[in-house]
Amino acid sequence: MEIQAKKKFGQNFISDPTLIKKIVTLIPENKNSLIIEIGPGTGALTKLLVQKFDKVVAIEIDESLIPILHRDLNSENFKIINQDVLTIDFKSLIENEKQNPEQEVYLISNMPYYITSEILFRTFDVSDQIKKAIFMVQKEVATRLIAKESGNNYNNLSVAADFYADKKYEFTVLKNKFKPVPKVDSAIVSLTFWDKYKQELNGNDQEFISFVRKIFNNRRKTILNNLTNITNNKDLSKAILGQTKIAENLRPENISTNQYIQLFKNLKVQ
């Protein structure tokens, strides 16, 4: 019997075996790795992951899929958690499931589109515990994720992804590769996490990301106006921008990750 995708969970099941293999090969072939999959659905990706890696933990919200996954993936190295991913404590999950401190952790997901941003920002929060994430997202979201400053798609998500990871647009996935067929094409993006920028902020990275999100709240306004909304002092905002060597009339999308970091640091010392 064919399993019906549920619209309320944003389900679109992958139906192409070649595509599944192509996605899984983006994870380095280290059998000892811990793989965490968000939204396994009917287990199309999961089956190959269980064959290739020593431990696979899947998070699935849909109760009706749990018996199917247990039936089709009856393996000692597979564990399923029937829970909403937005209520998962990722830090504790990773700590509990790692078999040793050196074990590399990879996150993989055919993302439920309606909670893509929430999952991404929750992933960033535990990026120091994850080696790499492989995400299938709407193509539009992928272009925002990998966008650079002054591009049409550059936003707070672009900055956050750049801050936490070496980001890469891997390939486009046409909508006819899914059942049911969605309205738009998707794309695979990879995020290889680093601490390239985090060291500069001495543990204030979450406050920095919150700052960037506030700046982008009014992306049509100048950086001076947006910064003044935070400082409530236009003269102070002008002084901080001058110190950071950022022109007052630039828009949020014109400013690089490095510039945002310097802007935040200069704001913090006021």
Choose among 131, 157, 126, 124: nearest CA to 142: 157
- The response to whether 14 counts as a known ligand-binding position is yes
Q: What is the DSSP string of 91-148?
A: HHHHHHH-SSTT--EEEEEE--GGGHHHHHHHHHHTGGG-SEEEEEEEHHHHHHHH--
Locus of tokens 């999952």: 119
Q: What is the DSSP string of 186-228?
A: EEEEEEEE--TTGGGGTT-HHHHHHHHHHHGGGTTS-HHHHHH
Contact 118, 86 (CB under 8 A): yes
- The response to whether 84 counts as a known ligand-binding position is yes
Choose among 253, 236, 223: nearest CA to 144: 253
Give the tokens for residue 115: 């909670």
- The response to whether 176 counts as a known ligand-binding position is no
- The response to whether 140 counts as a known ligand-binding position is no
- The response to whether 195 counts as a known ligand-binding position is no
Beta strands 105-110; 34-38: pairing state: parallel
- The response to whether 80 counts as a known ligand-binding position is no
Q: Which residues are annotated as a binding site for S-adenosyl-L-methionine?
A: 12, 14, 39, 60, 84, 110
Q: Which residues are annotated as a binding site?
A: 12, 14, 39, 60, 84, 110
